[in-house]
Structure 1
Amino acid sequence: MRFLEKTKKKKNLTDKKPEDKSDPVAIEQEKLTISEQEKLTKEKERLRKKVNKLIKKQKMKQVREIVKEQEDLKPWGQEAHVKVGCRLIQLLMDTAYIQPPVDQSGDGSLDICPAFVHVLKTVTKDAQKTSRRYGMIECDPLVHKGMEKTARHMVIPYMPMLVPPINWTGYDRGAYLFLPSYVMRTHGAKQQRQVVKRTPRTQLEPVFEALDTLGSTKWRVNKRVLGVIDRIWANGGHLADLVDREDVPLPEEPDTEDETEIKKWKWKVKDAKKENSERHSQRCDIELKLAVSRKMKDEEGFYYPHNLDFRGRAYPMHPYLNHLGSDMCRGILEFSEGRRLGKSGLRWLKIHLANLYAGGVDKLSFDGRVAFTENHVDEIFDSVDRPLEGRRWWLGAEDPFQCLAACINLAEALRSPSPETTVSYMPVHQDGSCNGLQHYAALGRDKLGAAAVNLVGGEKPADVYSGIAARVLDIMRSDAEKDPATNPNALHARLLVNQVDRKLVKQTVMTSVYGVTYVGARDQIKRRLKERGNIADDSALFAAACYAARTTLTALGEMFEAARSIMSWLGECAKVIASENHPVRWTTPLGLPVVQPYRQLGRHLIKTSLQVLTLQRETDKVMVKRQRTAFPPNFVHSLDGSHMMMTAVACKKAGLNFAGVHDSYWTHACDVDEMNRILREKFVELYEAPILENLLESFQESFPNLTFPPLPDRGDFDLRDVLESPYFFN
């Protein structure tokens, strides 16, 4: 009562005196207010009717323009999204129930139970010896069981398009007709998004043109390959890199009280559950891809709208069945338009089949690859006629489904009375030789590096991985001859000298261009050594991996000295900029502005109807180390993205069908020679520009008060040699 009395007194003191209704001015103002409200209501009603009519006529572009003009329709913030989302989840839990079968309810009753429940669980991290409570939404085991066998119930919004995508004209204008489409995947990086939005359209025209070109390529489903995949999947999978559809059985609990045996059993159970979880994820992925394939298989053709990541690499916006995907996806897809092979196309189709079979065949000369294919004609015919009942030669390929597709196309041609007139729908790939190092060799005009990655011609392709392995072997042989008492590396060298091959060093060489660290190289090599099982002792395995990693990085530094110096220079520039709390930013040769998104994350608490959520939010402070280590690989990715897009536009103008996967360029077999000429010319054109000089100048203009290290020394490699290199892309 006292509280109410105090509240009333306070209200009386603060309430304003009501306006005098007899005041003519007040009456007139009230009339005006009512009149404005009526007008506003009528205008909203008019717009509502107009929008409904336009929706019925499917004129969504005009609807969007009307909606954008209404200033009161502001976007929700993150907090509103979270609160509404949690409330919707809560409503789902309150209304969604499941009724178990009679035989599972125990007493024959038909009680219903919630399909979803909200639970709090404590998760302990053994390594950090800390625990945290997490809120989770769990579904009833029956619901989980119903969903785990298939992914066909899932809604896939961004499907391939049956009509050509809309040309890009702005940050959010282009690609899909009605679905939200953005030219760049910024993933919440606000500064990157704003920079792209502010960039003049004329500056971004080359990027828009390239994305439009990639999106205009028309695809279709290869029904014969899809039929084989469906048969394998229906029979349980477990062939051609498809996951087994059955789970690994959990080991039975041992009938013993021996703690050691029980501990081993628990570890085996843990491993089996992990394997089953991974299989479940892979099964869902395959089901999604097959669902799209089956939906699109009777279509005459379809298109993939493309957009960019923040570095300027292009990706299809549809995430499942696309040519960036697995061997299964690539085997299912082919060009919708067919073209006659011709003499050149028939030869390239044979080379392509050898490349797909791999196993070292792709390291032969072109004539050697043609000979390999011609020597296996009987196996090719058998693979086509009896893919699952015959000798299954195609299953031995590194890319089995793509190999099967090539077998089908080549068999059709070879069985034709005129093979060269056979129409081919097959995309034939030309892949860069360790493409990241190719870009570094061109940047540094490095003769030794250029020869190692096929920027100069040769009788057969140079294999950079074998070259590094040979140098590593030389170092280890030298160390093995030394006295272990004075040189501890001698023992490790003697242990490893018979295990060094290209496979041991390949991953480290591949990732060296992306700034692999000593720890990363050590872990990569350790995994390869562990797979071989020749070193049983864990401590000896670790020591050997440490030595092999150091030796591999030494060999890399010797062979690609210019690349290492450029990587170091880029990292130092990034460190100078990030130390002043600025993100590293640059503009690609095609005019795309890039801002590295790496900032420290803060915590933001939001109280919802379910629980208090902790969300991450970007702060104003950049991550200095991440800005520095990520800049060299990101910069090179922006260059390989530029090269691919320049090639795409030029191929389109030359009348070629083109598709690109970063450093892998695709066209019809009959057009490979023309595409090879174009991609080499565009590579030379890209690197004839003073890229590093322009980058340094842009840094100095943006940060005039900072001091940057001088440009690294470069060699005298002649870029024009690339034009005559047959194995630059092969």
Structure 2
Amino acid sequence: MLEKKLAPSLPYVKSLFLGWFEPFRDAIEKEKKLQKGKMHKAAYAHHMSLLPADKLAVIVMYKMMGLLMTGQEKGCVRVVQAAIHVGEAIEQEVSVELVIIHTYLEKTKRHGKRSCQCDNVILSKEQQKRHKYVLKLIKMKKLAEVQKLLRVEADMEPWGRDAQAKLGSRLIEMLIESAFVQPPIDQLGGNLPDIQPAFRHTLKNAAIEARYMVIPYLPMLIPPKKWKGYNKGGHLCLPSFVMRTHGSKDQQDAIKSAPKKQLTKVFEALDSLGNTKWRVNRRILDIVDTVWHQGGGVAGLVDCNDIPEPERPESMDPAEIKKWRWKTRKARKANNEMHAQRCDTELKLSVAHKMKDEEGFYYPHNLDFRGRVYPMHSCLNHLSSDLCRGVLEFAQGRQLGKSGLWWLKIHLANIFGGGVEKLSYDGRLMFVENHLNDIFDSATNPLDGKRWWINAEDPFQCLAACMDLSDALSSPSPQCFISHLPIHQDGSCNGLQHYAALGRDSLEAAAVNLVAGEKPADVYSGIAARVYEIVKKDSLRDPAVDPSALLARILVDQVDRKLVKQTVMTSVYGVTYVGAREQIKRRLSEKGHITDDRLLFTASCYAAKVTLKALGETFQAARSIMKWLGDCAKIIATENQPVRWTTPLGLPVVQPYRNAERHLIKTSLQVLALRREGSLVAAKQQKTAFPPNFVHSLDGSHMMMTAISCRNSGLQFAAVHDSFWTHACDVDKMNEILREQFVELYNIPILENVSRSLFCYSITILHIPFSIYQYDSSYILRKRVLLHVPNDQ
């Protein structure tokens, strides 16, 4: 009954309705008469007068009990939710009544009074048929279709959230005042009946609610349903939607109206990713449990203990008090962040323990509005932290083979990080060979040995790779060892790769490994070298003439790849000066050389300006494309239109940025805050978000094309946006597919297609301001490039 939303039809609930009905109906009737006699009526008076009191009473009682008994808050419902639901239900009933009256008047006008009696018989049947159809739509939760039908028939304007909330609040208040409950007679024990209000309006402590949490959308033990429509696919029983629209009506309409044939490739890609079978690596999970129970604080796990707050100084010096307060706020902020991280870790581990004894499980996937793919389960998945990635592995194992053993060693070097991943392939293999004793020690004594794996950038993934390599080398035939470990192939600053391919710029293509070299190009080191040149030059200037010379002298020994990496990565996704400053500030703070906060801030400002300057000099074509996209978005936004485009896989994209409208509605119960999507687009956000969103839609398209091709070739495949995973023995095949799909993607005239589609929304769209086709994109296919694919094995 609860699952079918029929809780108010239970016999006991009906008996409650019998006791509440008359007093509640009389209270409504009294309120209607009171409002009728007033010169200045309440905002809800008109809408309350549209239905008789008895019908209003039944609707409110039924809706309130339904919300209380089927909601997720254990017999509670939020006032704003209840008020709007009650208001909507009354509006729907009024609409039905208006349809009947409208139809009757139309027939009377058409046939005349003589045929009224005959028409009444026909009308009665039509009324019943229409009533049944409308009720069927309501039961199927197709409220939008109901409202559309009723407004067309009755020519009725929608009430709006404000009117619904005010009417609902007043009716709920009257129900609270007139409805009471008492225990059954056989439970009184000779005492007087203890009559209590049936409903209470109270404040609920959210902290108590947060003690326990039900994790939704857990991984599935069987393959997900194939996607066949907007809400058809994924989980078997839980509501599943192919796109996370977050309430954007424009995006919902676009994806719902897209022909199924147009979305075939998107559905196929999601099905391919959802059919990858995973399992928990129990050995890694045991290590994580041990470290966590010992208090954390190592291998990237958050410390289980809070940072102690500084003691209040005995001195009453205002400067000392101010400094103490600042340090206290800083400690409390850090402790709050650590508390959130602990909760997150507990959730991840709880799911891992729930799944550790399963043979395997699956992650249904869906999209964000840009076309990037995510698992629907949010806690333990491969898009998450090093902890999750270390604990997860493919359920299906495959023999390493000669190439697989080679790739397992390369993968271990890449995961260890610290600059090792930027060595040539021979250098990375040498690193692994030189640390074989450490690798064996990490695998056999991860907590009691040298603990070499803890020094890695991704410790738990490094430990998983150490165990896999140790087991393989200890086996009689390493090449026949069955490996379950996913091997990663990461793009070289993927956003810049897409811009280089779009602009057909050969120099930028070389910087991001779209053309071959003796060893993989490192764009971050290249930008760091340029930043160092500028800083070194500035440091030689006279501080009296150029104040930045002092900052340059402080920073000259601190410029390295790590300092600029995040800013370079996010530059193609629209990072601002403020964002770059905060990124560099965090890196400088981690180094610990600058302890004064004011000096740290000014040094970060200077370093951010220099880094952005170096980026502009190196990637001029990318900047030109970004500017063109932003200018086009600005033109479209001035016409109050959101930016729309279709990805190469046929996915319609609509930027959801609108100026949100927030209303405070004063009702008799309380002040309700309603937030809804506004009618005006957020012009600035439409402009700044278009370049990064456009590139995200391209890397999402490339990943989905790769997923389909890998599945057709029999490979197990997973992806984290621009990082592609498969078994060690299949890496070469996957890299070949990656190159093929990248070339296929950029054989499409993407910018020209986008320009034409944008022109549909504004005739003033700018022409593409740069020449293209400066290099042959098929070069990627002929040479072993694009990702860190070896030139020889």
Query: Structure 2-normalised TM-score?
Result: 0.75
**Counterpart selection for 2:748 from 665, 684, 689:** 689
Find the partner of 2:378 among 305, 310, 319.
319
Residue by residue over 1:235-255, the C-alpha shift from the partner in whole angstroms, topping out at 9 and shown as x without a partner, is 222221111222233444445
Distance, in Å, in 2 between the alignment partners of 1:477 and 1:373 is 36
CA deviation string 1:267-325 (max 9, x = no partner): 33333322222122111111111111111111111111111000000000011111101
**Residue matched to 2:478:** 419
Q: Which residue number in structure 2 is paired with residue 504 of structure 1?
A: 563
Contact between 2:219 and 2:377, CA under 8 Å: does it hold in 1?
yes
Contact 1:117 1:138 in 2 (8 A): no
Name the residue aligned to 1:158. 217
Tell me the amino acid that sits aligned with residue 779 of structure 2.
D
Q: Does 1:195 align with 2:262?
A: no
CA contact (8 A) 2:510 2:521 kept: yes
Determine what percentage of the aligned residue pairs are the same residue.
60
Shift in Å, 1:540: 4.7
Tell me which residue corresponds to 1:581.
640
Out of 720-729 and 215-224, give the one that drifted further. 720-729
Q: Secondary structure at the match of 2:674?
A: strand
Deviates more, 1:295-304 or 1:28-37: 28-37
Question: How do residues 244-643 of structure 1 correspond to structure 2 at under 5 angstroms?
Answer: 244-255=303-314, 257-535=316-594, 540-607=599-666, 611-643=670-702
Q: Matches of residues 641-720 of structure 1 in structure 2 within 5 Å?
A: 641-704=700-763, 706-714=764-772, 716-720=774-778
Matched to 1:671, the amino acid is: D
Where is the strand percentage greater, Structure 1 or Structure 2? 1
CA distance in 2, matches of 1:39, 1:477: 83
Deviation string 1:512-556 (CA, Å, 9 cap, x unpaired) is 101222333233323333443444555554444333222222211
- Indicate how the Cα distance of structure 1 residues 477 and 249 shifts in structure 2: closer, same or farther if over 3 A, else same: closer
How far residue 457 of structure 1 moved from its aligned partner, in angstroms, is 1.3
Matched position secondary structure for 2:558: coil
**Structure 1 match to 2:205:** 138
Provide closer, same or farther for how the CA distance between residues 599 and 210 of structure 1 changes in structure 2, counting only shifts above 3 A. same
Looking at structure 2, the residues matched to 715 and 26 of structure 1 have their Cα atoms a distance apart, in angstroms, of 76
Question: What are structure 2's unaligned runs of at least 5 residues?
Answer: 1-29, 40-114, 149-158, 181-199, 789-793
Distance across 2 between alignment mates of 1:261 and 1:488: 30
Q: Could you tell me whether the CA contact under 8 Å between 1:311 and 1:637 is conserved in 2?
A: yes
Give, in whole Å, the separation in 1 of the partners of 2:742 and 2:639: 35
Shift in Å at residue 452 of structure 1?
Answer: 0.9
1:562–1:714 contact (8 Å) kept in structure 2 = no
CA offset at residue 499 of structure 1? 2.1
Cα–Cα, structure 1 residues 458 and 610, in superposed 2: closer, same or farther, change >3 Å?
farther
Q: What does residue 183 of structure 2 align with?
A: none
Deviation at 1:491, TM superposition (A): 3.8
Q: Over aligned residues, Cα RMSD in angstroms?
A: 3.7
Query: What aligned pairs does 1:21-100 form with structure 2 within 5 A after superposition?
Result: 67=140
- Check the 8 A contact 2:594/2:600 in 1, yes or no: yes
1:487, CA displacement in angstroms? 4.5
Stretches of structure 1 that go unaligned for 5 or more consecutive residues are: 11-24, 48-63, 96-115, 120-136
Q: Distance in 1 between matches of 2:341 and 2:201?
A: 26
SS in 2 for 1:498: coil
- 1:729 has 2:787 as partner: yes
Relative to 1, partners in 2 of residues 1:481 and 1:257: Cα closer, same or farther, differing over 3 Å?
closer
1: CA distance, partners of 2:34 / 2:591: 84
CA contact (8 A) 1:571 1:629 kept: yes
Match of 1:133 in 2: none
Deviation at 1:614, TM superposition (A): 2.0
Is the 8 Å Cα contact of residues 636 and 761 (structure 2) preserved in structure 1?
no
Which TM-score applies when normalising by structure 1?
Answer: 0.81
For residues 6 and 698 of structure 1, the distance between their equivalents in structure 2, rounded to whole angstroms, comes to 55
CA contact (8 A) 1:460 1:727 kept: no
> Cα distance 1:71–1:689, how it changes in 2: closer, same or farther (>3 A)?
closer
1:211 has 2:256 as partner: no
Whole-Å Cα distance in 1 between the matches of residues 663 and 358 of structure 2?
Answer: 47
Partner of 1:646, secondary structure, is helix
- Opposite residue 551 of structure 1, the aligned amino acid is V
Q: Which residue of 1 aligns with 2:285?
A: 226
Residue identity matched to 1:712: F
What is the CA distance between 1:594 and its match in structure 2? Answer: 0.6
How far 1:382 moved relative to its partner? 1.3
| 3-state secondary structure, aligned to 2:692 | helix
User: Which residue is equivalent to 1:22?
Assistant: none
SS at match of 1:600: coil
Going from structure 1 to structure 2, the CA distance change for 1:272 and 1:426 (only over 3 Å counts) comes to: same
Per the TM alignment, residue 587 of structure 1 is displaced from its structure 2 partner at its CA by: 0.5
SS, match of residue 719 in structure 1: coil
* Residues 569 and 712, structure 1, Cα contact 8 Å, conserved in 2: no
User: Aligned partners of 2:696 and 2:233: how far apart in 1?
Assistant: 24
Q: CA 1:397 to 1:608, structure 2 compared with 1: closer, same or farther past 3 Å? A: farther
Residue deviations 1:632-682 (CA, integer Å, cap 9, x gap)? 000000000000000000000111010011000000110000000000111
